[in-house]
C-alpha cells in the first residue's frame, strides 16, 4: 500500500494519519512537512522479522540508514530488534548518539577514510564490510593498534544485473561497489583478510541494487553468496558466521504500482537461504542478514506541501507550484521517479479532477514533483499530500536556493511529536564565517622542506 497503514479520511474527506488530523497538524508545524507514521515503521520491522522466521532461525534485519536517519527512528529500531547499517562517519555518529548499540552497527561503503575506519573500530561496530584492497590495507595498518581483532565481512560483487534504474544497480561487473567474484578479486580479498589474525572474517555480503521487485533477483543474490561461501570453505577451509544478500526491496510509490510486501520478500529470501544452506554442507546455518532501507520507511512517510500558485497555460498545461520540491525530494529530477498526490482536504462531492503538473519552488525547470497528476481545481493555500515520501527524500535533501530543510513529525495514537526541527534562516548562517580567519597554508617549497 502506498499510504501509511493508519491513513484514513473522515466523513468530510479530511486526511488523518496516526489518528492526527493532517490539516490541523500542518497549521501548527508548517509546510513543507514530513509526517512519519510510527505504526507503519513498526509493522514493517515486524513483517521482515516474521518473514525471515518462516525459513531460518538465525536471522537479523539491518536497516540501511541512508534511506532516512533520525534519533526517533533509531529508538524505534532498537525497540523492534532491528540493527542498522551506516555508510559514513556522519551516519555512524548519529546512530551511536541515538542509542544504537555499536555491536549492532554494520559499516559499509566504497570509500571509507582512515578517520572513519578508526571511529568505527574505536566504537566497536559489529562489522566493517570491506569493499576494496585499499581498505584492507588500511585495516591492516589500523589493526596494529586495535584492542581486539576487527570484525570484517567481504563485499562480493556477484555480477547480477538487477532490473532497476542504472543509477541503482550495484551488482553488475562494472560497479564501484564490491569485489568481483568472476575476476578473482573477492577470493583474493578473503585470502588477505585471513592472512592477518587481527582481522576477524565473519562472512560475505552482496547488495545487487535498490527498488527491485522480483523476488528471483534476491534469491539469485542469496545463491551467489552461499555459493561463494562454499567455494571459500573449499579453498581456505573457512566457515562463515554471517551471510548477507543485502537490501533493495522495492516499494510502490503510486497507488497503481504493486510491490510484494515485506513479509513475502523476507520469506522468499529466508526460504531460498534455507534451501541453499541445506545443500551447502555447512554444519549449521550462518546468521542471515538482510538490509532493507527504503521498504522500512518509504510508505510510512508522507510529504505535505502548501500550494503557492497556479498557472494555466491554455492548450499546454496547468502548473500547480508548491512550497517544496527538489530540495526536499530530488528523486523525480534525479531518477524520473513517479509519485502521486492527493488534496489533504479531498472533499467528498467536490468538482472532478483535471490533470496538472505539480511543480516545486526551486529555480530549475526540472524541479517538477509530478508531471501529470489528477487534482481537483486547487487554489493557493490548499494542502497537498504526497505519499511514499519516507525514503531517500529527506536523506538526499539539500539547501538549494537556501531552502530550509523541512520539519519532521512522528505520529502515533492520535499524537504528533516533532522529531526534526525545521531549519531556520539563522541555521543557514550558522556555518558562515563572518570575520576573516586566515589559515596558515604553507608554500609548496616550505612543505617539501
Ligand atoms: N545495503 C546496501 C549495501 C546498500 O547500498 C543499500 C542501498 C541498501 C542496503 C538499502 O537498499 P534499499 O532497501 O533501501 O533499496 N537513492 C536511491 C537509492 C540508493 C540506494 C543505495 N543503497 C533512490 O532514491 O532510489
User: Which region among 124-128, 171-175, 189-193 has the lowest average model confidence (pLDDT)?
Assistant: 171-175
Residue 216 Cα to ligand 1 middle (Å)? 18
Out of 313, 348, 352, 363, the active site residue is 363
Nearest CA to ligand 1 atom 23: 392
The residue-averaged pLDDT of 294-301 equals: 98
Q: Measured from the CB, is residue 64 less than 6 Å from ligand 1? A: yes
Ligand 1: does its nearest atom lie under 6 Å from the Cβ of 293?
Answer: yes
Residues 338 and 355: their CA atoms lie apart, in Å, by 15
Q: Give the cell for residue 112.
A: 571509507
- What is the 294 CA–ligand 1 centroid distance (Å)? 7
Enumerate residues 6+ apart whose C-beta is below 8 A from 357: 317, 318, 319, 320, 368, 370, 371, 372, 373
Q: What are φ and ψ of residue 446, in 5° steps?
A: -70, -40
Q: Is the CB of 249 under 6 A from ligand 1?
A: yes
pLDDT by residue (tens digit) across 303-338?
999 999 999 999 999 999 999 999 999 999 999 999
CA distance 336 to 331: 7
Rounded to whole angstroms, how far apart are CA atoms 52 and 48? 6
What pLDDT, on the 0 to 100 scale, is given for residue 449?
A: 52
Please give the share of the chain, as a percent, with pLDDT higher than 70: 99
Q: Please compute the mean of the pLDDT values over residues 20-41 and round it to a whole number.
A: 98
Q: Which residue puts its alpha carbon closest to atom 24 of ligand 1?
A: 392
**Nearest atom, ligand 1, residue 294 CA:** 14
Task: Find out whether 405 and 422 touch, Cβ atoms under 8 Å.
Answer: yes
Q: So where are the chain's domains?
A: 8-36+299-426, 38-298
> Which pLDDT tens digit goes with each residue over 369-380?
999 999 998 999
Q: Is 363 a catalytic residue?
A: yes
pLDDT at 248 over 70: yes
* CATH number of the structural domain 38-298: 3.20.20.10
Share of the chain above pLDDT 90, in %: 92
Which pLDDT score is estimated for 256?
Answer: 94
Looking at residue 448, its pLDDT comes to 61
How sure is the predictor about 174, in pLDDT bands with cuts at 50, 70 and 90? confident
Mean pLDDT taken over the chain: 96
Mean pLDDT of 258-277: 98
Give domain 8-36+299-426's CATH number out of 3.40.50.800, 2.40.37.10, 3.40.50.300, 3.20.20.140: 2.40.37.10
Amino acid at each position: 500500500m502506498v499510504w501509511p497503514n493508519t491513513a484514513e479520511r473522515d466523513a468530510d474527506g479530511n486526511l488523518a494519519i496516526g489518528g492526527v488530523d493532517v490539516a490541523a497538524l500542518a497549521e501548527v508545524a508548517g509546510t513543507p512537512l514530513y509526517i512519519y507514521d510510527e505504526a507503519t515503521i513498526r509493522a514493517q520491522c515486524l513483517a521482515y522479522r516474521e518473514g525471515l522466521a518462516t525459513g531460518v532461525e538465525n536471522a537479523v534485519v539491518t536497516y540501511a540508514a541512508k534511506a532516512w536517519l533520525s534519533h526517533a527512528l533509531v529508538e524505534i529500531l532498537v525497540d523492534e530488534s532491528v540493527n542498522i547499517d551506516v555508510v559514513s562517519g556522519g551516519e555512524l555518529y548519529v546512530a551511536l548518539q541515538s542509542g544504537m548499540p555499536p555491536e549492532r552497527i554494520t559499516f559499509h561503503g566504497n570509500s571509507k577514510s582512515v578517520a572513519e575506519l578508526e571511529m568505527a573500530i574505536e566504537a566497536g561496530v559489529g562489522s566493517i564490510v570491506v569493499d576494496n584492497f585499499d581498505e584492507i590495507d588500511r585495516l591492516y595498518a589500523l589493526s596494529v593498534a586495535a584492542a581486539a581483532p576487527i570484525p570484517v565481512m567481504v563485499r562480493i560483487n556477484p555480477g547480477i544485473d538487477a532490473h532497476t534504474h542504472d543509477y541503482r544497480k550495484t551488482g553488475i561487473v562494472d560497479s564501484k561497489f564490491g569485489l568481483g567474484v568472476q575476476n578473482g578479486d573477492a577470493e583474493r580479498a578473503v585470502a588477505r583478510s585471513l592472512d592477518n589474525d587481527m582481522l576477524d572474517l565473519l562472512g560475505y555480503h552482496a547488495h545487487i541494487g535498490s527498488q527491485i521487485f522480483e523476488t528471483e533477483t534476491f534469491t539469485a543474490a542469496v545463491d551467489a553468496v552461499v555459493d561463494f561461501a562454499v567455494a571459500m570453505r573449499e579453498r581456505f577451509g573457512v566457515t562463515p558466521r554471517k551471510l548477507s544478500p543485502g537490501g533493495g526491496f522495492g516499494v510502490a510509490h503510486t497507488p497503481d504500482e504493486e510491490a510484494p510486501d515485506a513479509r513475502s520478500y523476507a520469506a522468499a529470501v529466508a526460504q531460498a537461504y534455507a534451501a541453499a544452506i541445506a545443500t551447502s554442507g555447512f554444519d549449521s546455518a550462518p546468521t542471515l542478514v538482510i538490509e532493507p532501507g527504503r521498504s522500512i520507511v518509504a510508505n510510512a512517510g508522507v510529504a505535505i506541501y502548501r500550494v503557492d500558485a497556479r498557472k494555466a497555460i491554455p492548450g499546454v498545461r496547468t502548473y500547480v507550484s508548491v512550497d517544496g520540491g527538489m530540495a526536499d525530494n530530488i528523486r523525480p529530477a534525479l531518477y524520473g521517479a513517479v509519485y502521486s498526490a492527493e488534496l489533504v482536504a479531498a472533499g467528498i462531492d467536490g468538482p472532478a479532477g483535471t490533470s496538472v503538473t505539480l511543480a516545486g519552488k526551486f529555480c530549475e525547470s526540472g524541479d517538477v514533483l509530478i508531471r501529470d497528476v489528477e487534482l481537483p481545481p486547487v487554489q493557493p493555500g490548499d494542502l497537498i499530500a504526497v505519499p511514499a515520501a519516507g525514503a531517500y527524500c529527506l536523506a538526499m535533501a539539500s539547501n538549494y536556493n537556501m531552502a530550509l530543510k523541512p520539519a519532521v513529525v512522528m505520529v502515533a495514537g492520535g499524537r504528533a511529536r516533532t522529531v526534526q526541527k525545521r531549519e531556520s534562516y539563522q541555521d543557514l548562517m550558522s556555518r558562515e564565517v563572518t570575520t576573516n580567519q586566515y589559515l596558515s597554508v604553507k608554500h609548496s617549497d616550505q612543505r617539501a622542506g
